[in-house]
Amino acid sequence: AVRRRAVDPRGALAAAGGMGADALHDLELPLLFGTLVRGGAYVGWGVDSADWHLAQALLRQCGGATAAAVMLDAVPMLAGLLDPKRDVMLRLTALSLLEHLLADATFAASNDLSDWAEHIYEAMLLPNLVWRAGKPSEQIRLAAYRCLSRLTQLDKLAAAALASRQQTALPLYVSGLDDDHVDTRRLACAVLALAAAARHSNPS
């Protein structure tokens, strides 16, 4: 209900300006989002922080291309929130947002994602594949594998980049094959197959 009360005036504001909601996002999001996260404000966010909820809403409701255009601010924010030392529920919501973005066709097709794909892979996803005890950590691994599966299927990660990180990544993928969650095991198999293909194409 709260979201609806925010979305309806947004549509009215866009119409009053003679534009659609997406165009309004294109115009206003960079400044608004930058103001929200610059200076590392997200360091103090928790899963219930109002600013974190606002950041999620902005990135989920704008078009994928618009979200990709603010990756200079969004990637450091997500990397900070996905530090394994942060709260589990906070990381789960951050991984959910990342999966939402990677599933958007226009976000996935953007050149901005190509520029940041290696950082997303190495700084956000690999650290969250590490096995840790407990059901919450199991959900983190599954969410990270979902994101990794989407990212590796987009051809945004160069084979050379995948191959260069295999010494770190392969033990994580292999441990995923023994995970308690069947979906994590399935996704680990798929990612491991892609890693093997990358190694074959870059034998050095």
Q: Could you tell me the two tokens for 161? A: 């980049």
Token couple for 11: 């549509």
> Cα Rg for the chain, rounded, in angstroms?
18
- Which pLDDT tens digit goes with each residue over 162-189? 666 778 888 999 999 999 999 999 999 9
User: Using one digit for the tens of pLDDT, what is the confidence trace for 129-167?
Assistant: 999 999 999 999 999 999 999 998 887 776 666 666 778
Phi then psi for 134, rounded to 5 degrees? 110, 150
CA pair distance 157, 135, nearest whole angstrom: 30
Residue 156: the pLDDT is 77
| Amino acid occupying residue 14 | A
**How buried is 105 (Cβ within 10 angstroms: 0-12 exposed, 13-18 middle, 19+ buried)?**
exposed
Q: How many CB atoms lie within 10 A of CB 57?
A: 14
- The DSSP 8-state label assigned to residue 184 in this structure reads H
User: pLDDT-derived band of residue 36, with 50, 70 and 90 as boundaries?
Assistant: confident
Identify the pLDDT of residue 168. Answer: 85
pLDDT of residue 79 exceeding 80: yes
What angle (nearest 5°) sits at the alpha carbon of residue 21, between those of residues 110 and 10? 135
> What percentage of the chain carries pLDDT values higher than 70?
78
Q: What is the pLDDT of residues 85-120, one digit of tens each?
A: 999 999 999 999 999 999 999 999 998 898 899 999
Report residue 18's pLDDT band, with 50, 70 and 90 as the boundaries.
Answer: low
Q: Answer yes or no: is pLDDT of 19 > 70.
A: no
- Average pLDDT in the chain: 84
pTM of the complete model: 0.85
